[in-house]
């Protein structure tokens, strides 16, 4: 019988399915593991990145089941979003049918790879039942003040005709389509992620060692906590009159440089700038320039050449009372701190460049040898009145305290992270469950009326908001006053859906109809023990999900503080050095591999080709190699004696047999560390190959039997179909237990000793570990006979287990 992947794989997939092998058990007394790979977007077909992601998660899940854990390993589809609408425009299909056809196809592909997903807990985030509870969360958050509306400058993608959150703008471009993002003032709903900024930052600490450092650092920088001083600079009398304000607030992280301030820079959106424009104090040429800058994205402003205009107003320095000129400048961010900067050109790069360009005063206040700007945070203060001579770290604190004592400023913390804008002007998303009533204003839908679902008769042209253009959908009555009102026509950012799917998965599916999340399941299954997915979500999904966990905890739905205990970010799958992608035309279709070689070969290749966190370069030869390995394993198993393995007596084995058995047990030992700790599946597979090689020169039936029992067991989480098949053929059991390590196998019964003469190594001997000193010395002398035959040995030194040294004359 030769190896035939197709039949074997079909057979076992049916058996697993029939026996509900992969369903989590509702016995909450068992130890549990919740293993989750990020769910896919139903783009149409599974790609190699998915195969990698799910092969890793599957191997871990299968291992934990094997050692007695109750395992939750679910899958679903992140199924709202733009591509469905783009397909609708291009191919005239309805986004819903496009999506659900893709889901059906991809589900089949996933199960044909033998992934041990629960079938009862599959969900799609576009299901009305999912929308229902998502809208419930939205309303609960709104009522708690965690969601609010405001009109603000937003990132707008012309291509996708929709708003993007800050996290979804990468290098000034749309994360999805790569189109340049522009600024647009619009009303929208915002999630108050900033309310959790401190907690989101603090708890990164607890994730150290469990999440990749790179992800932790990216989140830390994104949250961007700065400690500093906020204080007011009073405008002189004439300037107050002109600007209609009496002061300017600034935020500085470098209070130690307070004596080096030589001008104040305002952002173009600062209230004072607007007031000066409104009262015609600025030249039309300047106003024109300011308008231009206002239309740029923050990023464009940052990368442009420094540019600004003197506003012909002055503030007084809070300590020296000197007059300081006020400028408007393009490099000052509108929505950070107070949108105004105390500029210290001697010690700040941007301030320096600006001062140079406009010939402004540059005043050095930290002692340094190097040329200006000197931006390091070390050195003693100079020209700083009573603070001169103090190290700047200490001075910074002293100056803040001084401001606080005089009640002219306060210690302040600023975060870079901004609230998450979730309104999208697209059709294929969860409707925002809010109503606009002329009398009552903005009113949430009633919980009992959820879900608010999408109309199916819709025209999608790619222009304008489809729900807004629908003739009747938005008509409704106000839940508060009963008058005619309007439904909100924006839908939710799809990251809203993926922020809580892991908790939904953990709920008993029998409760799915009635409630969002069921308590006993949340307490038992959450949080996710091992999460696996791409690094591209480092600050998008992974940050939103952490926020949701905390918000849902505070709304009483969940108890854990963090959603994901451990995180593995798998590396990309490359071909010819580039990421596999349709646009580059270098994709390998997993379906083709399954057809040609079978699912086990695909899985073995993907886990053997590289450690999971590293990039994986596609290699046809290695794929062939994986297939040949499975064929050989199968062929050799045909000659193994059938029946449960017998007890093996270590002392009855010869040298080669002992070595082969050692290799088998080494692989067994390694399996524990790999499946639980390192996930270096490639090294585990290599160990199994080594063991099989060592075994090939032995002719011991019982040893072979034991070895196959163990190796099939170790490899089963990686190549499950063939391992189930062979273990059934050989041992008549379908799911067998990992054997305990036998310590005697690891006891070496021979060891190698170096033999030196006058300290110089001349030979090596292999001795039995039970040999005594006399026997060892005798063997040692024989091994170096030609060097000592006509010499006198004056001293014989034996260092136990290490070496023999003969001193001769």
Task: Give the interface with ligand ANZ as residue ranges (CB under 6 A).
Answer: 226, 251-254, 257, 267, 332-333, 336-337, 339, 341-342, 344, 347-348, 414
The owner of tokens 């499946």 is 675
Instruction: Indicate the residue among 226 and 240 with the shorter CB distance to ligand ANZ.
Output: 226
Distance of alpha carbon 686 from its chain centroid, rounded?
Answer: 28
> How would DSSP label each residue in 370-433?
SPSP---S-SBB-S-GGGTTSBHHHHHHHHHHHHHHTTSEEEEEEE----EE-EE--SSSPBP-
Instruction: Indicate the residue among 342 and 417 with the shorter CB distance to ligand ANZ.
Output: 342
Name the minimum Å distance from CB 50 to Zn ion: 47
Q: With residue 142 as reference, give the H or E element that holds it.
A: helix 128-143
- Interhelix angle 599-608/48-66, rounded to 10 degrees, is 90
Name the minimum Å distance from CB 336 to ligand ANZ: 4
Rg of the chain over all Cα atoms, to the nearest angstrom: 35
Give 761-786 as a 3 state SS string. Answer: EEEEEEEECCCCHHHHHHHHHHHCHH
Rounded CA-CA distance 379/370 in Å is 12
The helix/strand/coil state of 733 is coil
* 641, 731 Cβ separation under 8 angstroms: no
The helix/strand/coil state of 461 is coil
695 binds, among ligand ANZ, Zn ion, none (CB under 5 to 8 A by kind): none
* 266, 312 Cβ separation under 8 angstroms: no
Name the minimum Å distance from CB 184 to ligand ANZ: 21
226 binds, among Zn ion, ligand ANZ, none (CB under 5 to 8 A by kind): ligand ANZ
Name the minimum Å distance from CB 455 to ligand ANZ: 44
Rounded CA-CA distance 473/488 in Å is 10
440 binds, among Zn ion, ligand ANZ, none (CB under 5 to 8 A by kind): Zn ion
Name the minimum Å distance from CB 248 to ligand ANZ: 12
Site for Zn ion in 442-501 (CB under 5 A): 478, 480-481
Closest CA to 419 of 493, 515, 327: 493
Number of residues that bind Zn ion (CB under 5 A): 6
CA angle 145, 148, 154 (to 5 degrees): 145
Instruction: Indicate the residue among 161 and 262 with the shorter CB distance to ligand ANZ.
Output: 262
Task: Please choose, out of 213-221, 440-448, 641-649, 687-695, the segment that lies near Zn ion by the rule CB under 5 A.
Answer: 440-448
Burial 608-636 (b: 16+ CB within 10 A, else e): bbbbbeeebebeeebbeebbebbbebbee
Instruction: Indicate the residue among 212 and 479 with the shorter CB distance to Zn ion.
Output: 479
Site for Zn ion in 165-224 (CB under 5 A): none
Name the minimum Å distance from CB 433 to Zn ion: 15
Instruction: Indicate the residue among 15 and 483 with the shorter CB distance to Zn ion.
Output: 483
Instruction: Indicate the residue among 101 and 349 with the shorter CB distance to ligand ANZ.
Output: 349
The helix/strand/coil state of 700 is coil
Rounded CA-CA distance 602/591 in Å is 10
The owner of tokens 């029946």 is 643
Feature table: binding site for ATP: 582
339 binds, among ligand ANZ, Zn ion, none (CB under 5 to 8 A by kind): ligand ANZ
253 binds, among Zn ion, ligand ANZ, none (CB under 5 to 8 A by kind): ligand ANZ
Instruction: Indicate the residue among 122 and 316 with the shorter CB distance to ligand ANZ.
Output: 316
252 binds, among ligand ANZ, Zn ion, none (CB under 5 to 8 A by kind): ligand ANZ
Instruction: Indicate the residue among 253 and 511 with the shorter CB distance to ligand ANZ.
Output: 253
Name the minimum Å distance from CB 354 to ligand ANZ: 11
Task: Please choose, out of 20-28, 337-345, 432-440, 535-543, the segment that lies near Zn ion by the rule CB under 5 A.
Answer: 432-440
Name the minimum Å distance from CB 115 to ligand ANZ: 44
From start to end of 317-368, where are the E strands? 323-329, 340-343
Q: With residue 596 as reference, give the H or E element that holds it.
A: helix 590-596
Q: Which of 372, 440, 555, 689 binds Zn ion (CB under 5 A)?
A: 440
Distance of CA 82 to CAs 13, 90, 163, 429, 501, Å? 34, 12, 12, 9, 19
Instruction: Indicate the residue among 231 and 428 with the shorter CB distance to ligand ANZ.
Output: 231
Rounded CA-CA distance 402/397 in Å is 9
Name the minimum Å distance from CB 362 to ligand ANZ: 12
| 689 φ/ψ angles, rounded to the nearest 5 degrees | -65, -40
Rounded CA-CA distance 71/285 in Å is 68
478 binds, among ligand ANZ, Zn ion, none (CB under 5 to 8 A by kind): Zn ion
439 binds, among Zn ion, ligand ANZ, none (CB under 5 to 8 A by kind): Zn ion
481 binds, among ligand ANZ, Zn ion, none (CB under 5 to 8 A by kind): Zn ion
Instruction: Indicate the residue among 84 and 265 with the shorter CB distance to ligand ANZ.
Output: 265
Instruction: Indicate the residue among 294 and 783 with the shorter CB distance to ligand ANZ.
Output: 294
Instruction: Indicate the residue among 73 and 364 with the shorter CB distance to ligand ANZ.
Output: 364
* 668, 716 Cβ separation under 8 angstroms: no
Instruction: Tell me if 439 contacts Zn ion by CB under 5 A.
Output: yes
* 152, 163 Cβ separation under 8 angstroms: no
Rounded CA-CA distance 173/182 in Å is 9
414 binds, among Zn ion, ligand ANZ, none (CB under 5 to 8 A by kind): ligand ANZ
610 binds, among Zn ion, ligand ANZ, none (CB under 5 to 8 A by kind): none
Rounded CA-CA distance 492/344 in Å is 43
Instruction: Indicate the residue among 446 and 628 with the shorter CB distance to Zn ion.
Output: 446
Burial 743-763 (b: 16+ CB within 10 A, else e): eebeeeeeeebebbbeeeebb
Feature table: binding site: 582
Name the minimum Å distance from CB 221 to ligand ANZ: 10
254 binds, among ligand ANZ, Zn ion, none (CB under 5 to 8 A by kind): ligand ANZ
683 binds, among ligand ANZ, Zn ion, none (CB under 5 to 8 A by kind): none
From start to end of 300-382, where are the E strands? 308-316, 323-329, 340-343
Instruction: Indicate the residue among 408 and 738 with the shorter CB distance to ligand ANZ.
Output: 408
Name the minimum Å distance from CB 234 to ligand ANZ: 18
Written as six digits, the tokens of 18 are 């029939």
Name the minimum Å distance from CB 226 to ligand ANZ: 3
Name the minimum Å distance from CB 605 to ligand ANZ: 46
Task: Please choose, out of 328-336, 401-409, 410-418, 435-443, the segment that lies near Zn ion by the rule CB under 5 A.
Answer: 435-443
Name the minimum Å distance from CB 480 to Zn ion: 5
The dihedral built from the CA positions of residue 76, 78, 80 and 83, taken in this order, carries a sign that is negative
150 binds, among Zn ion, ligand ANZ, none (CB under 5 to 8 A by kind): none
Neighbours of 158 (CB within 10 A): 13
Exposure of 679 in the CB half-sphere (CA atoms within 13 A): 26
Distance of CA 206 to CAs 290, 496, 522, 566, Å? 45, 25, 21, 11
Q: Which of 5, 124, 163, 437 binds Zn ion (CB under 5 A)?
A: 437
Written as six digits, the tokens of 177 are 């389509």
Residues that bind Zn ion (CB under 5 A): 437, 439-440, 478, 480-481
């Amino acid at each position: 019988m030769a190896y035939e992947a197709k039949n074997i794989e079909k057979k076992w997939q049916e058996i697993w399915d029939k026996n509900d092998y992969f369903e989590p058990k509702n016995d909450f007394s068992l130890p549990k593991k919740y293993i989750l790979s990020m769910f896919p977007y139903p783009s149409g077909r599974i790609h190699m990145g998915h195969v990698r992601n799910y092969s890793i998660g599957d191997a871990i899940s299968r291992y934990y089941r094997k050692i007695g854990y109750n395992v939750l390993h679910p899958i679903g589809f992140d199924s709202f979003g733009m591509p469905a609408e783009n397909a609708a425009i291009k191919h005239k299909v309805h986004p819903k049918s496009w999506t659900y056809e893709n889901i059906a196809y991809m589900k089949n592909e996933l199960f044909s790879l033998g992934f041990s997903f629960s079938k009862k807990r599959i969900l799609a985030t576009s299901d009305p039942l999912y929308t229902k509870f998502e809208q419930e969360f939205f309303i609960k958050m709104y009522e708690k003040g965690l969601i609010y509306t405001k009109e603000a400058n937003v990132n707008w993608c012309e291509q996708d005709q929709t708003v993007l959150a800050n996290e979804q703008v990468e290098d000034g471009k749309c994360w999805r389509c790569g189109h340049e993002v522009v600024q647009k003032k619009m009303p929208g709903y915002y999630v108050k992620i900033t309310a959790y900024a401190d907690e989101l930052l603090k708890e990164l600490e607890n994730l150290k060692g469990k999440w990749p450092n790179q992800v932790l650092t990216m989140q830390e920088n994104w949250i961007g906590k700065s400690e500093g001083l906020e204080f007011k600079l009073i405008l002189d009398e004439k300037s107050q009159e002109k600007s209609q304000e009496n002061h300017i607030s600034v935020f500085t992280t470098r209070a130690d440089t307070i004596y080096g301030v030589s001008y104040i820079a305002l952002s173009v959106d600062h209230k004072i700038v607007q007031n000066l424009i409104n009262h015609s104090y600025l030249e039309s040429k300047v106003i024109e320039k300011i308008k231009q800058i206002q239309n740029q994205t923050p990023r464009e402003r940052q990368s442009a050449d420094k540019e600004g205009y003197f506003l012909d107003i002055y503030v007084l320095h809070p300590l020296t009372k000197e007059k300081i000129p006020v400028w408007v400048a393009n490099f000052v961010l509108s929505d950070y701190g107070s949108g105004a900067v105390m500029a210290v050109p001697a010690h700040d790069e941007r301030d320096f460049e600006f001062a140079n360009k406009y010939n402004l005063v540059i005043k050095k206040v930290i002692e340094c040898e190097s040329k200006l700007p000197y931006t390091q945070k070390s050195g003693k203060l100079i020209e700083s009145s009573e603070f001169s001579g103090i190290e700047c770290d200490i001075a910074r604190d002293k100056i803040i305290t001084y401001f606080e004592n005089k009640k002219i400023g306060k210690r302040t913390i600023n975060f870079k992270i901004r609230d998450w804008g979730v309104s999208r002007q697209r059709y294929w998303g969860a409707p925002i469950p809010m109503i606009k009533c002329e009398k009552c204003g903005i009113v949430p839908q009633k919980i009992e009326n959820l879900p608010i679902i999408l109309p199916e008769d819709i025209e999608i042209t790619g222009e304008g908001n489809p729900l807004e253009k629908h003739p009747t959908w938005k008509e409704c009555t106000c839940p508060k006053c009963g008058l005619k009102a309007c439904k909100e026509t924006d839908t939710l950012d799809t990251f809203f859906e993926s922020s809580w799917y892991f908790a939904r998965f953990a709920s008993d599916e029998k409760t799915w109809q009635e409630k969002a999340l069921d308590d006993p399941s949340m307490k038992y299954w959450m949080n996710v023990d091992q999460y696996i997915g791409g690094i591209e979500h480092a600050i998008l999904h992974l940050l939103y999900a952490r926020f949701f966990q905390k918000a849902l905890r505070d709304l009483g739905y969940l108890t854990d503080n963090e959603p994901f205990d451990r995180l593995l970010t798998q590396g990309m799958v490359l071909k010819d050095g580039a990421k596999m992608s349709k646009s580059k035309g270098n994709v390998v279709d997993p379906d083709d591999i399954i057809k040609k070689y079978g699912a086990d070969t695909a899985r073995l290749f993907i886990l053997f080709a590289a450690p999971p966190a590293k990039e994986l370069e596609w290699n046809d030869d290695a794929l062939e190699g994986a297939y040949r390995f499975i064929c050989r394993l199968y062929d050799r198993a045909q000659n193994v004696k059938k029946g449960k393995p017998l007890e093996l007596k270590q002392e009855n084995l010869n040298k080669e047999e002992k070595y082969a058995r050692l290799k088998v047990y080494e692989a067994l030992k390694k399996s524990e560390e790999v499946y639980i700790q390192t996930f270096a599946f490639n090294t585990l597979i290599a160990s199994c190959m080594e063991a099989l090689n060592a075994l090939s020169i032995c002719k011991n039936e019982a040893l072979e039997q034991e070895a196959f029992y163990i190796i099939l067991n170790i490899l089963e989480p990686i190549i499950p179909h063939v391992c189930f098949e062979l273990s059934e053929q050989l041992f008549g059991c379908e799911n067998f237990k990992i054997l305990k390590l036998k310590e005697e196998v690891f006891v070496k019964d021979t060891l190698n000793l170096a033999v030196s003469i006058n300290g110089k190594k001349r030979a090596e001997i292999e001795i039995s570990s039970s040999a005594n000193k006399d026997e060892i010395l005798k063997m040692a002398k024989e091994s170096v006979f030609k060097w000592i035959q006509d010499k006198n040995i004056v001293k014989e030194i034996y260092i136990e287990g290490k070496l023999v040294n003969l001193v001769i004359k």
